[in-house]
Amino acid sequence: MRVLEGVVVCTVVLLLSPGSCAAVRPDLTITTIKQDPYTMSKGSQLEGYCMDLLSELAKKLSFKYNVHLVKDGSYGRQDESGAWNGMIGEVVRGEADLAIAPLTLTAAREKAVGMTKPFMQTGISILLRKDISEEAGFFDFLTPFSVDTWVGILAAYLGTAVCFCIVARLSPCEWSQPQTEKNSFTLSHSLWYTAGALTLQGAGPHPKALSGRIICCTWWLFGLVLLACYFSNLSTSQGSDSNSLMVKGFEDLANQQGIEYGTLSGSSTLAYFKNSNNPTYRKIYEHMERTKSFVPSMDEGVRRAKEGNFAFIGESVSLDLAVARHCELIRVHEVIGMRGYSIAGTLGSPMLKNLSVAILQLSEAGELSYLRSKWWASSCMANPAKASSLQPHSLKGMFLVLVLGLGLGVLLAVLELTAKSRSGAGEQRKSCCTVLSEELSQRFRGTTTNEKRSEETTDKEKA
């Protein structure tokens, strides 16, 4: 009897002892797949974006886990009998509690397993070599400068030529005897001289007066800087980028025959094109199916794109990584079929709701953006600024110097003529203003008559 009482008392004590009713939570089994930079081997350990994300989620939800690589190296595809392979298959069969990888959220997968809120947004885009570009246009030599800059250069050219013509008429050092001498700096010669100076060819005769030489030196400096900017921008603009690609989107890809293209076999990207009703996307799928241009892995697609004459269609996030690691590649701007990468779990698992909330919290805290920048850091050297068309404000300093030089030259020419008029006024016993007015009249209004007289005199001498 006493033995029975002792057993009952011990049983009651054990039942009432703290923690006796608490179930021990087993470690979660996580399946994943090797793909740079989501999951990579580092010795005997795994690292990458997904491993960091898993670590953050474990801290928030207080769970322990064991990670293993998927046995067949596949993401998850349903065969004709309805069975799943890859990570999705392991979750369906109960071999894993969760699958963490760049798993695209699709309707078929959502029916087989539970999916969390996406931890990363992606889409479908095209990866190409940078040197696959368009043929040069007839007027590509004008691209270094914008239209406004070209208009400003034309205005500067005409303004300088007019200033040459004015200074050559005003300056007594340039044209001392308007009544008998012929002015060599006519408007047509000024235009020719200015054009020759701009192209560094030169065209004589050169100005003799100080005022003319100041304008000449200012124009030479302006032309030198202008040509340096032009050739620098022209050489830079020859580099290919996404604005000069022959294939700028899926429409261009479908309508050309020179570049082969393909995608990852058995991927959700291939399923997107296969199930699409868009004529362009159907045309792309039929071409890939006909040419069997599928690649077995992401690395193989990147390798073929690097070799040239091949466009790899894939997830935009993965293509961005390839661009960051391989500087000769570029991704086109167009992205279609936006979807997300999610964590997969068994259907009806209460863990999925908690994981979704934790993912949203990490996103709001900026942790997901930090992980993205950490693992997608580019190894390419910063490119020198790709020249867009040079705007007028980029050369505003040189335009200002030119205006000041032209103004100074014209001012000196006026002062030279005023000084001559003042000395002539004393000899002729006239006012300086009267002599200056006569000089201006002879140099501008009577120019045509004087030139005609000079030509008639020359003809008579020849006769």
Structural domain includes residue 388: no
Whether residue 355 contacts residue 118, with contact meaning beta carbons closer than 8 Å, is answered with no
234 shares a domain with 152:
yes
111 and 152 in a single domain? The answer is: no
Tokens of 158: 């005409």
Write the CB contacts of 105 (distance below 8 Å, at least 6 apart in sequence). 115, 118, 339, 340, 341, 342
* pLDDT at site 50: 94
DSSP string of 363-431, one letter each residue: HHTTHHHHHHHHHT---SPPPPPPPPPBPGGGGHHHHHHHHHHHHHHHHHHHHHHHHHHHHHHHHHT--
180 and 257, same domain (yes or no): no
Is 77 annotated in a binding site? The answer is: no
Q: Is the pLDDT higher at 277 or at 391?
A: 277
Does any domain span residue 96? yes
Domain endpoint, select from 314, 340, 366: 340
Banded model confidence at residue 88, pLDDT cuts 50, 70, 90: very high
Position 113 pLDDT exceeds 90: yes
Is 456 marked within a binding site? no
Q: In terms of pLDDT, which residue wins out, 248 or 456?
A: 248
- Is 315 annotated in a binding site? The answer is yes
**pLDDT band, very low/low/confident/very high, at 244 (cuts 50, 70, 90):** very low
- 107 shares its domain with 34: yes
Q: Quick one: 42 and 163 in the same domain?
A: no
pTM of the model: 0.53
Of 99, 59, 45, the C-alpha closest to 76 is 99
Is 269 annotated to bind ligand?
A: yes
178 with 212, same domain: the answer is yes
Specify if 353 maps to a domain: yes
**252 lies in the same domain as 127:** yes
**Cβ-contact 89, 83 below 8 angstroms:** yes
Going through 84-211 in order, the beta strands assigned E by DSSP cover 98-104, 114-115, 120-129
Whole-angstrom Cα Rg for the chain: 40
pLDDT at 176 over 80: no
| Average pLDDT rounded to a whole number, residues 382-391 | 52
Q: Three-class SS of residue 69?
A: strand
CATH number at residue 287: 3.40.190.10
**Helix, strand, coil share of the chain (percent; to 5):** 55, 15, 35
Of 192, 213, 239, the domain-final residue: 239
Lowest mean pLDDT among 81-95, 184-198, 363-377, 401-415: 184-198
Query: What is the average per-residue pLDDT within 33-59?
Result: 91
Q: Based on the structure, what is the number of domains in the chain? A: 3
Q: How far is CA 329 from CA 244, 307, 321, in A?
A: 14, 10, 10
Are 127 and 256 part of one and the same domain? yes
* Residue 312 backbone class (left: φ over 0; alpha: ψ -120 to 50; beta: rest): beta
pLDDT of residue 52: 94
Determine the residue type at 392.
P
Pairing of strands 65-69, 28-32: parallel
Q: Is residue 286 part of a domain?
A: yes
Whether 429 shows a pLDDT value over 50: the answer reads yes
Q: Would you say 31 is a known binding-site residue? A: no
Q: Strand, helix or coil at 164?
A: helix
Q: Is residue 13, in this structure, part of any structural domain at all?
A: no
Q: For residues 229 and 297, state if they share a domain.
A: no
**Mean pLDDT within 215-243:** 77
The verdict on residue 398 lying in a domain is no
Residue span of the structural domain in which 372 resides: 23-119+342-380
Angle at CA 160, nearest 5°, toward 408 and 202?
110
Mean pLDDT of 349-369: 93
Distance CA(109)–CA(274), nearest Å, equals: 17
Where residue 181 sits, what CATH number does that domain have? 1.10.287
- Residue 449 belongs to some domain of the structure: no
104 is in an annotated binding site: yes
**pLDDT confidence tier of residue 18, bands split at 50, 70 and 90:** very low
pLDDT at residue 387, as a whole number: 45
> Would residue 445 count as lying in a domain?
no
Query: Which of 239, 257, 292 is the endpoint of a domain?
Result: 239
What confidence score (pLDDT) does residue 196 get? Answer: 86
Q: What is the mean pLDDT of the chain?
A: 81
Once rounded to an integer, what is the mean pLDDT over residues 2-28?
50
Length of the chain: 463
149 and 297 in a single domain? The answer is no
**Do 211 and 284 share a structural domain?**
no
Per-residue model confidence (pLDDT) at position 356? 94
Structure tokens at 416: 């030279």
Mean pLDDT, residues 23-43:
83
Is 318 found in the same domain as 302?
yes
pLDDT at 414: 82
